[in-house]
Structure 1
Amino acid sequence: MNTIIQEVTDRIIERSQATRKAYLEKIERARKNGPLRGQLSCGNLAHGFAACNPADKADLRSMTKANVAIVSSYNDMLSAHQPYETYPQILKQAIAEVGSVAQFAGGVPAMCDGVTQGNAGMELSLMSRDNIAMGAAIGLSHNMFDSAIMLGICDKIVPGLLLGGLSFGHLPTVFVPAGPMPSGLPNKEKARVRQEYAEGKVGRDALLEAESQSYHSAGTCTFYGTANSNQLVVEVMGLHLPGSSFVNPGTPLRDALTKAAAVQATRLTDLGENYMPIGHVVDAKSMVNGLVALLATGGSTNHTMHLVAVARAAGLIVNWDDFSDLSKATPLLTRIYPNGSADINHFVAAGGMSLLFKQLLDAGLLHNDVNTICGRGLDQYTKEPQLRDGELEWVDGPQTSLDKEVLASVEQPFKPDGGLSVLDGALGRAVIKTSALKEPVCHIKAPAVVFEDQYALDEAFQSGQLDKDCIVVVRFQGPSAIGMPELHRLTPPLGVLQDKGYKVALVTDGRMSGASGKVPAAIHLTPEAYKGGLIGKVKDGDLIEINTATGELILHVDQAELDAREFAKVDLSMSHVGMGREMFGGMRATLTGAEEGACSLFYDQGPIA
């Protein structure tokens, strides 16, 4: 093993001793001999299978067959989740054919950041993750099930399902993807039209046409944002079937993998000899594997919160220093938009997951002594699925990249590190994604231009007030303030300023998209302005310095001057009402800081160290 990766793993294990021990004890208490439904009273059980067909009802009464829970985030407004409409019947049929039973345990919400971006609904986005976790837990709480299948793909849905699934850590749990849409308008062209629209060079019709050609069918968006980062990380953590993450929907191979995943969920239950609950798959080593794969591919910055929360759900304590140190040891191996012009389908064609696994394992960058839903170790994940004469097989994948502009080697990476840095200073702690920047190191020192919300920037941009070197500060965007919406709509105007030759950057206590791109952005700043973070005292013209080489985020203002200043005051009431936001006041009040996962689920379990 790479020594840095081993050191980070060891310190996670060390700092998590008490919490991990408590977690394992909890899931062991939940484990019972025989089918879990055997603990129910006759009345409870009768309610649980009342609507089943006679054959399933007889199987569930017999206490000899496994019962698999299906939890789905299907809706047909999200392109990524629309294919899930037919999955329950496919899964039930495949499970019935091997002599077990499946029941649809519950549905969870799935909202799309692409639809809500720049709108009021986005302020529910991050909080929807915890809502999804609770919804999954409610579905599983009937205690009718011996294993679970989770259907989810996009931004907050997979982390939410992971959180919910890990709360039932005694259950074997298989995640089943639906795959990306076929390639449409090239990402580079889409970005060009967006920027031209921001400059006023093209109208809304041209912009809508470009977006429609890009997002054009069922399946996950093809850029490498949070959705595709989710799929890659979950596979590397051993919760997908090998090579299943990026097979297009509606294809024979996709259907075969879905059926195989259903069967696998029956093989892992406590009724057989291969019991493997999710709480034993997700441990310190598998978490580190997920982080390494995320960094090696320049994945979504949203996971600096999501994976912290997921780790905590498994009794593990992960912090941003772990991300930063792992980034230093992990070479950047892919160029997928926004880190390049290729999309996720091009990544698959270049060698995909099997080659990524092989390279990371050969270089000692992944722990191989881990549990997966397919057994012990990751060697099987270096193979890729194929259909041969209608039968699903796993065969050796490419040994070298088929497109070195998309998938590089450890020996000749695109960058020597994973492109994620932690910034620290009087302003607080923030993360910055450097993998998509033109230069490997970001060092900018410029006067601040301060905004209290993302919409005020538009007028300043249009009026030319930002035509200068500047660091844009957008505050009161944190978890407790307004739910920490993504601020991806700021990317086009800031990109225009950058292309005009100005040195620009962003500092915010909000989020950027999982598709954070070429504009330097110190994001997730904690403590947030709403909780008294120093960002609340920054004024227009204050010099701010960002330096990824030294990891510094500096406010060049005399301490005496800062002490004399009052914190900015802002009325957030209009962000707490409408679009359902009034119902989430209690959740906002319990959200932890960004480095603690921006999570409401563990407030009674003490802080994350």
Structure 2
Amino acid sequence: MTSKPLHDTIHRVTQRIIANSRESRGRYLALMRRERERTPERGQVACSNLAHAYAGAGEDQAALVAKGGPNLAIVTSYNDMLSAHQPYGRYPERMKIWAREVGATAQVAGGTPAMCDGVTQGQDGMELSLFSRDVIALATAVALSHQMYDGVALLGICDKIVPGLMIGALRFGHLPAIFVPGGPMPSGIPNKQKQAVRQLYAEGKADRAALLESEMASYHTAGTCTFYGTANSNQMMMEMIGLHVPGAAFVPPGAALRQELTRAAVHRLAELGRAAERPLGEVVNEKAIVNAAVGLLATGGSTNHAIHLPAMARAAGIAIDWDDLAELSSAVPLVARIYPNGAGDVNQFQAAGGIGFVVGTLIEEGLAHPDILTVWEGGLAEYARTPQIAEEALVWLDTGDSRDLNMLRPASAPFQPDGGMKLLTGNLGRACIKTSAVDPARWTIEAPARIFATQAEVAQAFAAGELDRDVVVVVRFQGPRANGMPELHKLTPVLGVLQDRGYQVALVTDGRMSGASGKVAAAIHVTPEALGGGPLARLQDGDVVRVCAVTGALSTTADLEARVPAPDPTPEMGVGRELFGMFRHLADSAERGGSATLAEAGL
């Protein structure tokens, strides 16, 4: 594949990340070398230990005893409540068979939680959501701590699950690892239709039965949700880093191609494990992290990754922050419009050329590092090809041109010249804003603030007609240390209605918004958070607040220093939230990933 030289901005940001990460990355790689050298060969482990590990291995017992081939760990996030992860139920038994085909063995090393933000949106359980990533990382580490494995298959798809698996697995980065996706569900009703019903319900013009019927026509069967939220952004980033079998991201569950891609993942992982090649800690390097950020920006991906990507990078000793993301965004054009940034979903995106087209056009325009080490031979260019089954064999073909220019465009003729994720700064702190789904006429909002502590309070004020005006809605005490930084997706219909009524509307919050959100200007992840006296804690109703994605401003004309901050709220109990007090207490800032585990580990 021919390509232009690497873009100056991509090169400059990459070199800055390498420089800023030199000490921490050096410590990480030194730890991985030590782990590789000191991890005992199974033949040197006490027989009692081995007997425990092999006792449940069934027909693989003899092969394990003979040490005839690599033993692969399967870390699964299967449950059958979460549609995206339901297909994983039968993966392990099939993966064991495919391992045997190449003289390897596979064992389920452990399982992790997999909670669904779609189920917990607006509910108390959402306050466990971000910290479930830490729990998943810890569970992954527990699974791999038995040290009986030569490679790791990571079964996970959704919001916190992929980042959590990555963080945990990177502590065993001396082993090769492959992420194994499950694929999106078939398309349901158009996303615009779903959003319209939500807004009608918010206005009282549709009843609960109509709303439930609409939602179930959208989320209707097994597979990943089809909008381009955090889950599907995860899959895109795993391709850009090179941790999938090429093109595996968006092939639906149950398809023959999906089965062959999973089989290829097992075969490849066995090959890597046998040769002790391409360990995870070397695959996830500074260039790979930049590629993930570039892919995220080029496709208008989820704002949640402004938190998850720095956390994943830190686990590998790599330092990336919002300045880096904002500078990359200034150079990376938007080449995809997938709902909520467009009308079509990920299935239509896949049909138009999908991730293969995106990778190809980014390489051609010098916007991605093609020379990264991936789990597949050939580097990133292999991920610009599309898998197919031809004559009962798995093959990869050239993706070709976009088959729908309303959804996918070449980087030389994009939808917009930047990636649509910007950094806001000012006397209210630092925040992210995603502009790719917001009309440019609404990139600057200046209006009196209305202060809230919860989403429910916003809904009540809306129902009472108190927000029928130009307004900056401020929802504070939603940061990692306050209550676990829940997503505030239920604000989207309410604020969208106000905007549609002709008002100038913006949101400012130290909480998160869903990867499915868009339309309304939203300054999110504000740091410092309100807890402990952050600037948002000093705002009052009526203060004029300016949110400007053009100049990068997040400010107020009020004299914040002269004010006493609002008191910190008392943490709520129930739904297990009291068990997460340790995580809240230890959590670091949103820009550093909002993690308790990484902060406590000194990463």
Conservation of the 8 A alpha-carbon contact between 1:441 and 1:549: no
CA-to-partner distance for each residue in 1:473-501, whole Å, 9 max, x for gaps? Answer: 00000000000000000000000000000
Conservation of the 8 A alpha-carbon contact between 2:532 and 2:568: no
1:22 is matched with which residue? 27
Aligned equivalents of 2:392 and 2:563: distance in 1?
71
Conservation of the 8 A alpha-carbon contact between 1:587 and 1:600: yes
Report matched runs for 1:6-85 at 5 Å: 6-32=11-37, 36-53=41-58, 55-85=59-89
Report matched runs for 1:83-102 at 5 Å: 83-102=87-106
The code of the aligned residue for 1:42 comes to: C
2:515 is matched with which residue? 514
Identify which of 311, 314, 335 aligns with 1:312. Answer: 314
Conservation of the 8 A alpha-carbon contact between 1:370 and 1:376: no
Conservation of the 8 A alpha-carbon contact between 1:508 and 1:525: yes
Unaligned 5+ runs, structure 1: none
1:155 is matched with which residue? 159
Deviation (angstroms), 1:50: 1.3
Deviation (angstroms), 1:35: 7.4
Deviation (angstroms), 1:32: 3.8
Deviation (angstroms), 1:605: 4.9
Deviates more, 1:436-445 or 1:11-20: 436-445
* Local SS of the residue matching 2:387: strand
Q: What's the Cα RMSD here?
A: 1.3
1:566 is matched with which residue? 564
1:471 is matched with which residue? 472
Aligned equivalents of 1:604 and 1:580: distance in 2?
22
* Local SS of the residue matching 1:268: helix
TM-score normalised according to structure 1 size: 0.97
Aligned equivalents of 1:109 and 1:341: distance in 2?
32
1:126 pairs with 2:122? no
1:340 is matched with which residue? 342
The code of the aligned residue for 1:359 comes to: T
* Local SS of the residue matching 2:598: coil
Conservation of the 8 A alpha-carbon contact between 2:338 and 2:345: yes
| Paired residue total | 598
Deviation (angstroms), 1:60: 1.6
Identify which of 214, 220, 224 aligns with 2:224. Answer: 220
Conservation of the 8 A alpha-carbon contact between 2:9 and 2:331: yes
1:601 is matched with which residue? 597
CA-to-partner distance for each residue in 1:63-106, whole Å, 9 max, x for gaps? Answer: 33100000000000011000000100111100011111000000
2:548 is matched with which residue? 547
The code of the aligned residue for 1:305 comes to: I
* Local SS of the residue matching 1:193: helix
Deviates more, 1:525-534 or 1:282-291: 525-534
Conservation of the 8 A alpha-carbon contact between 2:533 and 2:566: no
* Local SS of the residue matching 1:471: strand
Aligned equivalents of 1:158 and 1:267: distance in 2?
23
2:458 is matched with which residue? 457
Aligned equivalents of 1:332 and 1:381: distance in 2?
19
* Local SS of the residue matching 2:599: coil
Aligned equivalents of 1:171 and 1:117: distance in 2?
36
* Local SS of the residue matching 2:254: coil
1:176 pairs with 2:180? yes
1:583 pairs with 2:579? yes
The code of the aligned residue for 1:566 comes to: V
1:189 is matched with which residue? 193
1:142 is matched with which residue? 146
1:106 is matched with which residue? 110
Conservation of the 8 A alpha-carbon contact between 2:322 and 2:423: yes
The code of the aligned residue for 2:301 comes to: G
Q: 1:452 to 1:33 in 2, by over 3 A?
A: closer
Report matched runs for 1:195-594 at 5 Å: 195-269=199-273, 271-272=274-275, 275-398=277-400, 400-439=401-440, 442-558=443-559, 562-573=560-571, 575=572, 577-594=573-590
* Local SS of the residue matching 2:337: coil
Aligned equivalents of 2:448 and 2:93: distance in 1?
59
The code of the aligned residue for 2:486 comes to: P
2:3 is matched with which residue? none
Aligned equivalents of 1:9 and 1:209: distance in 2?
47
Unaligned 5+ runs, structure 2: 1-5
* Local SS of the residue matching 1:603: helix
CA-to-partner distance for each residue in 1:421-479, whole Å, 9 max, x for gaps? Answer: 00001111000000000117711110000001111111100011000001000000000
Q: 1:535 to 1:34 in 2, by over 3 A?
A: closer
Deviation (angstroms), 1:123: 0.3
Aligned equivalents of 1:547 and 1:36: distance in 2?
58
Identify which of 93, 116, 121 aligns with 2:120. Answer: 116
Identity of aligned residues (%): 54
CA-to-partner distance for each residue in 1:264-316, whole Å, 9 max, x for gaps? Answer: 110111x32x6111001000000000000000000000000100000000010
Conservation of the 8 A alpha-carbon contact between 1:27 and 1:168: yes
CA-to-partner distance for each residue in 1:158-192, whole Å, 9 max, x for gaps? Answer: 00000011011001000000000011100010011
Conservation of the 8 A alpha-carbon contact between 1:92 and 1:101: yes
CA-to-partner distance for each residue in 1:494-519, whole Å, 9 max, x for gaps? Answer: 00000000000000000000112101
CA-to-partner distance for each residue in 1:304-333, whole Å, 9 max, x for gaps? Answer: 010000000001001000100000000001
Conservation of the 8 A alpha-carbon contact between 2:68 and 2:103: no
The code of the aligned residue for 2:115 comes to: M
Aligned equivalents of 1:368 and 1:75: distance in 2?
36
Conservation of the 8 A alpha-carbon contact between 1:422 and 1:430: yes
